[in-house]
Amino acid sequence: VEFMSRNRKRPFFVYMPQAMPGSTRAPFASEAFRGKSANGPWGDSVEELDWSTGEILGALKRLGLDEQTLVVWTNDNGAPRRNPPQGSNLPLAGWGYTTAEGGMRSPCIMRWQALIS
């Protein structure tokens, strides 16, 4: 957000890969989000990721950049098979780290207020 504020008068590129929830046994969530979700550590991490995305989109709006900025939100693979389960790939079959459709198809959301409707 600070970088965008400093560079709002000129074109810029931000690549911000989030390392959460991640493919670890204990997904990361900061202290502010730890233990807050009904879905355990996985849910805590996803809630923080959601908050972070909202902060970025809110900053773009406050800075008057939301109409002219392409935001791409995606991930790298489907939910891994774990016990207890950490997410779901439904309605697709399979789990992350496999060649099944649920392991390879990933969401991709693109937002550019002025050009994508």
Tens-place pLDDT, residues 19-75: 777 667 678 899 999 999 988 888 898 899 999 999 999 999 999 999 999 999 988
By CB atoms closer than 10 A (0-12, 13-18, 19+), residue 11 is exposed
Tokens of residue 14, six digits: 């931000």
Q: What is the model's pLDDT at position 23? A: 65
- Distance in angstroms (rounded) separating the CA atoms of residues 28 and 9: 34
By CB atoms closer than 10 A (0-12, 13-18, 19+), residue 111 is middle
Average pLDDT over residues 5-27: 85
Judged against a pLDDT cut of 70, whether residue 117 lies above it is answered with: no
pTM: 0.81
Tens-place pLDDT, residues 78-111: 878 877 777 778 899 988 888 999 888 888 899 9
